[in-house]
Structure 1
């Protein structure tokens, strides 16, 4: 690899690493150490194929790195057969209408985050790629090495679990209040 390739890869890394790390951290349920390891391995894999990919759009390459990382996260969980106890949902109380509105939003986001964390590893990866990264079904399927219909099924199953939660927080009687 020539120095120019290294320089363009360095620029790509600098412009994408924070967002990729944040996405992978969600896939790992906040395990920053695991996320850091996986992101490092994903960028190392990308560096190996950089000469063939450097002319592609930055966003396509970022999504490619997320796909590599997603596979690595799934591999880790498959090896660990990791089962984590669920945390209790935090109780949120407020005293002003303005504050109540903001806290309801925070509680809704926390509840969605908790729902994502409760998903099986493969579904959690698919959900993160689809909802957080905005990656299309076909691209997720290629990145995670599953069929497009499996991706659709995983998203649909998550939606079914999300609907009661969404209804609770959009209830005109006040949702969480």
Structure 2
């Protein structure tokens, strides 16, 4: 299962990867603490999830340039699997990112920052329909979150420059 959303009261950024919650809490000076503990006392304002039966790994390009490049790869994946019309599916992408801008919701304040030359996993939902039930940012085809394997950050992915060593997996139902 993958997923994303804000916690109740918009205090934390929630990311779910392989069924594990990554709860990012914004602190002062754009610092973030990361937890995996879920309790009955906490909740989500909303949580978009996808639980595919299997993940299919497809050949990745040598590099992907930015969110638009990732969207193009996922559009090609949808077409190669014979998806027509409005389509939505989950995705997981791993690689080495040259630079990625991230953000974490938070009240009273959020956090934002940049990852540079880090091994990451990007998860999210691709949807090319016009009915936005997945909280896709305006003008985009994906809502993506990023997790670094090199530093303790999991957050909403706002932008990235270049991703190399690419592996792309799409959720199959």
The structure with the largest helix share of the pair is: 1
- Whether TM-score is above 0.5 comes out as no
Larger radius of gyration, structure 1 or 2? Answer: 1
TM-score, scaled relative to structure 2: 0.24
TM-score, scaled relative to structure 1: 0.24
The structure with the largest strand share of the pair is: 2
More relative contact order in 1 or in 2 (CA 8 Å, sep 6+)?
Answer: 2
